[in-house]
Structures are given as C-alpha cells and as structure tokens.
Amino acid sequence: MLIFDISNILNLFLMLAATILLIFLAQELKKSYITGIVLFAYLIILVVHAGQLVTLPNEYKDMLPILTRCIAIDFVFILISFFAYLWVDDIEAKKMQKKSLDDSLNWLWKNV
C-alpha cells in the first residue's frame, strides 16, 4: 500500500517550505486564490489519508500509527493554510478597496 508519509521529517520540512513559499507568493501578488489552492490540496491529502485509514487491510496494521500522525499533520497544515487564506484575502480586499469575504481575523487581532 502506497502511503504519502508526511510524518517523515524530510517530507514535513519540504511541505512546510512549499507552503510558506506559496503563502509568501500569494501575499506578494495579493491573490487569495493561491492560498485557496493550497488549502484545497491539503484537504484532498486529508481525504486520501482518511480513506487509506478506513480501508487499511489487516496485513498493513503496522501502518496505523503512521497514518494517524499523517492525519494530525494534515489538520495542522489545513489550519495554517486557512489562516493564511483569510490573511491574504484581507490584503487583497484592502488593495482593491472592497469588502473582504470574511472579517474573521479582526476579532483574533483585537484579542491578541
């Protein structure tokens, strides 16, 4: 069974670097759809890992801890990319002088 193991430290570092670079690119171009694509990609990876976990054959039960770590890491990357999407969407809305899709980050910045 082929599992994209993102709990491996090298894969984790490469995915983190790619995510940070794409967020930086979206921030520089002021295009929120770039971070939306990143968020969608991590959601697809989460669905694939969850599907693999559900359909895991008995002979591959030793892969169970790896898959659960991968799912936990998927959730962390989804959280990062979601906040990055909200942030870049706010930047894009300010540039275009229009209302943002959602002002969800305002309450966060006021409380911090």
Would you call 35 exposed, middle or buried from its count of C-beta atoms within 10 A (0-12, 13-18, 19+)? buried
| Residue 110 pLDDT | 64
Per-residue confidence (pLDDT) for residue 37, from 0 to 100 = 95
- In a 10 Å sphere around its CB, with 0-12 CB exposed, 13-18 middle and 19+ buried, how is residue 37 labelled? middle
For the residues of the chain, what is the DSSP string, one character each? -----TTSHHHHHHHHHHHHHHHHHHHHHT-HHHHHHHHHHHHHHHHHHHHHHHT--GGGGGGHHHHHHHHHHHHHHHHHHHHHHHHHHHHHHHHHTS--S--HHHHHHHH-
Q: What is the pTM of this model?
A: 0.83
2 pLDDT exceeds 80? no
pLDDT of residue 100: 58
What's the pLDDT tens digit per position in 17-72? 999 999 999 999 989 899 999 999 999 999 999 999 999 888 888 889 999 999 99
- Checking if the pLDDT of 15 tops 90, the result is yes
For residue 15 the two structure tokens come to: 């995915």
Q: What would the pLDDT profile of 72-110 be if each residue is shown by its tens digit?
A: 999 999 999 999 998 888 888 888 877 655 566 666 656
